[in-house]
């Protein structure tokens, strides 16, 4: 498919970067002009809303949720004639709302990506409305392969999943930075501490994905009786680590629900 991006912020840019590894038939635009620099960097085309709406087969909707209605209203006549596949990544907005804004029945895929998509390590949930054909979905999923893992999920759970994987990289970066800071406090050079923290989190995640063991079981395997690891785990528990992490995901979910109103 020929793809277009209406809005190209962090999420849109991440997907465009990954997609450009398999196709250069991509058009991008945004209000800030940031997309122009991205187009030059990736060897794709900088365009405008109307051209993208009238010429692309699949259109990523990358604007903020509160801007979506006005943007789609301005393109209703073009969308009604072209009937492209719309791919929305707006938190809180359902496929039904997107169709209402577009003013006509259209095939719509809703995705919730995260920024590691830019390096092919994204975690992307998706759902579709009834107008998306099996062929169109298969083609889309194939084209999105360079982005990372894609997993189907019922739409009622999309906002909750986004509070984990969509927002989760920020929490992981915060934890990574704190791990490195702790090592620096113990005398490890900053650059080495950051590299060790990143590699450790990446390796731990890969252990879960490859072994399918419960994280608690893998944690127990590191905690020797009377050892340094269990002392560190105790310090985290004393500070309410797990409760704080749960609360941050719940807070993000509650915010996602508000964005759709």
DSSP string across 92-158:
T--HHHHHHHHTS---EEEEE--GGGGGT-EEEEEEE-TTS-HHHHHHHHHHTGGGEEEEE--GGGH
Is the confidence at residue 12, as pLDDT, over 80? yes
CA dist 114 and 185 (Å) reads: 31
Q: Compute how many other C-beta atoms are within 10 angstroms of the C-beta atom of residue 34.
A: 16
pLDDT in tens, 199-212: 999 999 999 999 99
pLDDT of residue 91: 86
Give me the torsion for CA of 182, 186, 190, 191, rounded to 10°.
Answer: -100
pLDDT of residue 261: 67
Residue with token string 């509650």: 254
Give me the torsion for CA of 104, 109, 110, 112, rounded to 10°.
Answer: -150
Is the confidence at residue 128, as pLDDT, over 90? yes
Q: Tell me the pTM.
A: 0.88
**227 backbone dihedrals φ, ψ, rounded to 5°:** -95, 180
pLDDT > 70 fraction of the chain, expressed in percent and rounded: 99
CA dist 234 and 260 (Å) reads: 40
pLDDT, mean of residues 134-162: 94
- Residue 92 gets the label, from left (phi > 0), alpha (psi -120 to 50) or beta, of left
CA–CA–CA angle 81, 83, 85 (5° rounding)? 155
pLDDT in tens, 206-240: 999 999 999 999 999 999 999 999 999 999 999 99
pLDDT, mean of residues 3-21: 90
pLDDT, mean of residues 26-41: 89
**125 backbone dihedrals φ, ψ, rounded to 5°:** -85, 150
Average pLDDT value for the chain: 94
Handedness of CA 35, 36, 42, 46 (dihedral sign): positive
pLDDT in tens, 51-86: 999 999 999 999 988 999 999 999 999 999 999 999
């Amino acid at each position: 498919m020929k793809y277009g991006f209406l809005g190209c912020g962090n999420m849109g840019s991440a997907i465009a970067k990954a997609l450009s590894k398999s196709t250069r038939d991509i058009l991008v635009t945004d209000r800030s002009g940031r997309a122009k620099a991205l187009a030059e960097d990736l060897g794709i085309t900088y365009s405008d809303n109307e051209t993208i709406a009238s010429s692309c087969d699949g259109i990523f909707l990358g604007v903020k949720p509160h801007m979506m209605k006005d943007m789609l209203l301005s393109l209703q006549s073009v969308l009604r004639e072209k009937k492209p596949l719309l791919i929305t990544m707006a938190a809180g907005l359902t496929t039904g709302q997107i169709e209402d804004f577009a003013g006509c029945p259209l095939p719509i895929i809703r995705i919730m990506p995260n920024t590691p998509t830019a390096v092919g390590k994204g975690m992307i949930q998706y759902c579709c409305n009834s107008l998306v054909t099996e062929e169109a979905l298969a083609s889309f999923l194939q084209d999105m392969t360079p982005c990372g893992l894609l997993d189907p999920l019922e739409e009622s759970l999309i906002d909750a999943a986004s509070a984990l994987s969509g927002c989760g990289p920020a929490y992981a970066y915060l934890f990574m930075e704190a791990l490195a800071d702790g090592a620096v406090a113990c005398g490890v050079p900053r650059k080495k501490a950051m590299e060790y923290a990143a590699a450790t989190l990446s390796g731990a995640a890969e252990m879960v994905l490859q072994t399918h063991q419960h994280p608690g079981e893998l944690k127990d395997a590191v905690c020797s009786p009377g050892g340094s690891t269990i002392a560190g785990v105790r310090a985290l528990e004393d500070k309410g680590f797990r409760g704080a992490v749960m609360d941050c995901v719940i807070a993000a979910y509650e915010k996602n629900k508000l964005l759709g109103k």
